[in-house]
A and B are shown apart, each in its own frame.
Chain A
Amino acid sequence: TQLLEQSPQFLSIQEGENLTVYCNSSSVFSSLQWYRQEPGEGPVLLVTVVTGGEVKKLKRLTFQFGDARKDSSLHITAAQPGDTGLYLCAGRADSWGKLQFGAGTQVVVTP
Chain B
Amino acid sequence: SAVISQKPSRDICQRGTSLTIQCQVDSQVTMMFWYRQQPGQSLTLIATANQGSEATYESGFVIDKFPISRPNLTFSTLTVSNMSPEDSSIYLCSAPGQGSQETQYFGPGTRLLVL
Contact = CB atoms under 8 A, between A and B. Distances in A.
A96 B96 CA distance: 10
A42 B42 CA distance: 12
Contacts of A95: 101-102
Which range contains the number of A residues in contact with the other chain? 20 to 34
B42 A48 contact: no
Contacts, number: 51
Nearest to B101: A95
B62 interface: no
A88 B105 contact: no
Contacts of A98: 45, 48
Interface in B92-115: 92, 94, 100-109, 111
Interface stretch (A14-22, A54-62, A72-80, A99-107): A99-107
Interface of B: 1, 4, 33, 41-45, 48, 92, 94, 100-109, 111
